[in-house]
Amino acid sequence: MNWKTFYAMLARDGHVARRNLFPMLLQNLLQPLLFVFIFGRVMTTSGIMRPEYKTLLLPGIMAISMVLSGIQAVAMPLITEFQFTREIEDRLLAPMEIGWLAVEKIVAGMIQALVAGLVVIPAGLLLMGSGVNLSFHQPFAFVAVCLLVAFFSAAGGLTLGCSVGQTQIGLMFSLVLAPMIMFGCAYYPWSVLKAFPVLQIAVLVNPLVYASEGLRGALAPQAPHMHMAVVLGALLLIDVALLAAGLNRFHRKAVS
């Protein structure tokens, strides 16, 4: 492992991200914050939804922002570099093993996912107004869930970026990301799906379920949520599986 080269590439990705910080945040946060405003402010202020829904909604929106940001930060550049600009060929010539280049992509994606997720908290509190009761009394659980969610989003982006063709980007969002968001328990707790037993079991394959439930358990423990041990264990297994799949796909793509 050449740490100097690794840090140089990471610094380069950080410089690019800083230059595009505002467009990146706008791209990843606009839709989630619109949901925050409509469901967390308009619906609750008008009396259609109970004020307590604000606290239940915000952690789920944070999970969506982290997942979308991490996936897009890694997948979209990889699709472009492998299939259009061929910029990846220059990076493959760096004095570093191919696998570590993929890890650098994951670390850069994690950082962007963490920034996008943390920005949601003050922005959401500002948009929703009073009545949001978030708790920060479980800092270790909160940090652990955030790191695991950021890792799975970046590793998932690596896997998708090395598996999806440039002409299939729209299909990726339609068939992968859209169902993930709608059935990811971001707008509702997993426990409410008990009225649909088959669906409640089926959504457990969705990593966003554990991201939403984990952040809800860490930030709003008074709301219904999965046990934290289950969330952390599931996210860890998902991270390992996506890392293995992503590294394998990246290596095959790089040497082909």
Q: Would you kindly state where each structural domain of the chain is located, as residue ranges?
A: 3-255
Distance of CA 229 to the CA centre of its chain: 20
Across residues 46-54, what is the average pLDDT?
84
Instruction: Give the model's pLDDT for residue 148.
Output: 96
Average pLDDT value for residue range 40-55: 84
Whole-number Å distance between alpha carbons of 241 and 200:
22
pLDDT of residue 140 exceeding 90, the answer is yes
The mean pLDDT value of the chain amounts to 85
Distances (CA, A) of 154 to 4, 44, 57, 224, 245: 22, 34, 23, 27, 12
Query: How far apart, in whole angstroms, are the C-alpha atoms of residue 53 and residue 69?
Result: 24
Kindly report, residue by residue over 4-46, the tens digit of the pLDDT. 777 787 887 777 777 777 777 777 677 777 888 888 888 888 8
Helix, strand, coil percent values for the chain (each to nearest 5): 80, 0, 20
CA distance 67 to 157: 9
Tell me which DSSP letter residue 227 carries: -
DSSP line for 155-180: HHHHHHHTTS-GGGHHHHIIIIIHHH
Lowest mean pLDDT among 116-130, 183-197, 217-231: 116-130
Gyration radius (Cα) of the chain, Å: 19
Q: Backbone phi, then psi, for 106, in 5-degree steps?
A: -65, -45
Does residue 15 or residue 216 have the better pLDDT?
216
Q: Give the residue among 137, 156, 139 at the shortest CA–CA distance from 235.
A: 156
157-177 pLDDT per residue, tens: 999 888 877 667 777 777 788
DSSP track, 230-256: HHHHHHHHHHHHHHHHHHHHHHHHHH-
Average pLDDT over residues 111-120: 88
Name the percent of the chain lying above pLDDT 90: 34
Q: What span, in angstroms and rounded, lies between the C-alpha atoms of 84 and 60?
A: 35
Q: Which two tokens stand for residue 165?
A: 């063709």
Q: Is the pTM of this model over 0.75?
A: yes
